[in-house]
Structure 1
Amino acid sequence: MAMTDSQYHQLADEMFKAIDDAIELAIDEQDADVDIDASGNVLQLEFEDQSKIVINKQEPLHQIWVATLQGGYHFSYVDGKWIDERNGGEFMPFVLESIYRQGGIKLDL
C-alpha cells in the first residue's frame, strides 16, 4: 500500500526532529560548532569549516534527499526504514557518519 503525503511528512518530520534534538544536545555537551537552519522542507547543518549537510524532503517522490561533501543521496521508505536507493544503506547511520566526518560531532540517536 502506498504511503500518503501525511504519513510521509510525519515520518520525515520525526527524523528531522531527532537529528535536530541530537545536535542541540551535542552543542551543549560537546561544545559542537554547528549551525542548524530548519525551514520548511529543509534541514541545513553548517559546520565550523563552512561545509554543509543539507537534508530535504522531496514530497512528490516521498523521498528524503541528502547532500554532503561526498555527494547527493536519495532515500526511500522501504519496510519501515529509509534506504538509499543506490547502495541500500540506511538513512540515520549514514547521516550520523556524515555529521561526524564533516563536523567531528559524534551523535547518539
Structure 2
Amino acid sequence: MLTRTAPRAALSALTPSLRLTCVSAASAALQFQTQKFHASSAIRKGIYPDSADPPAPNPESNNVAGGASHVKEPSPLTDPEYHEYSEHYFNVLLSELEQAQEDGSDVEAEYSAGVLNIIVPGVGTYVLNKQPPNKQIWLSSPISGPKRFDWILEGDQMHEKQDSRPYIHGQWIYLRDGTNLTDILNSELTLNLPKDIYGESEE
C-alpha cells in the first residue's frame, strides 16, 4: 500500500533529467486545468458580441422633472404673464449682480434686448436670454452647459401642505432633470437670489 510520500520517494529515485521532465509535465497539466477552469467561468459570465443585450438596471422614469408626478410640463402662461414673470426674474438677478459688484466681485453684467451676459473672470461667460415663442428662459453656462427653463407653478394637488410645495409662487425649471434656474445661478455664481423670488414680490 502506497503512502502519501511514496510518489515523492519514487520521484527522487529517478535521474535528474527524467525527474525534471516529470515535474514539468505535472506542472503543465496543473496549469492547463487551471486555465480551463477560468476559461469556462468566463464563458458563463462574460458578454460577447453575439450575447443578448442585458436589461437596463434602472429603466427611465416617465417623470421627466425628477420630482413629484405633477411637475411634468410647463404651467400655462399668457404672453403678458410670460413677459411680466421673465422681466421680474431678470430684474431681481440684475440687482443681485449689482450688489455682488458693490461687495467687490469681479463679475460683469450686460443686459440688452432680453439677453443678459454675465462675464466671470477665469470661468467664462454666462448667457441668459428670453425666448418668448417658447415662453422659456435659456441659459448657457460655461460650467453646466445649455439648459431651457420652463415656468412651473404648483397647484393644490397631491395632498400637499402649502409650505411644502417649492413652486407655489412659480419657478423656472429645467424639465428634463428638475434643475432650478435659481439654484444653478446661486451655486455657480455664488449669488444669494431668494429661493421664492415671486413669493417675496407678493409680500
- For normalisation by structure 1, the TM-score amounts to 0.86
Aligned length: 103
C-alpha distance in 1 between matches for 2:148 and 2:193:
23
Aligned-partner SS, 1:55: strand
| Root mean square deviation, CA, Å | 1.6
- 1:18 alignment counterpart: 92
- 2:183 alignment counterpart: 93
Verify: 1:107 aligned to 2:181, yes or no: no
CA contact (8 A) 1:96 1:107 kept: yes
Verify: 1:9 aligned to 2:99, yes or no: no
How far did residue 50 of structure 1 move?
A: 6.0
Superposed counterparts of 1:57-96, under 5 Å: 57-69=130-142, 70-79=144-153, 80-96=170-186
Per residue, is there more strand in 1 or in 2? 1
Correspondent of 2:107 among 34, 59, 62: 34
C-alpha distance in 2 between matches for 1:50 and 1:98:
10
Q: Percent identity?
A: 26
- 1:46 alignment counterpart: 119
C-alpha distance in 1 between matches for 2:133 and 2:98:
30
C-alpha distance in 1 between matches for 2:171 and 2:119:
26
Unaligned residue ranges in structure 1 (runs of 5+): 101-105
How far did residue 28 of structure 1 move?
A: 0.7
What is the identity, as a one-letter code, of the residue corresponding to 1:76?
A: D
C-alpha distance in 1 between matches for 2:134 and 2:193:
29
Aligned-partner SS, 2:129: strand
What is the identity, as a one-letter code, of the residue corresponding to 2:182?
A: M
How far did residue 83 of structure 1 move?
A: 0.9
How far did residue 85 of structure 1 move?
A: 1.7
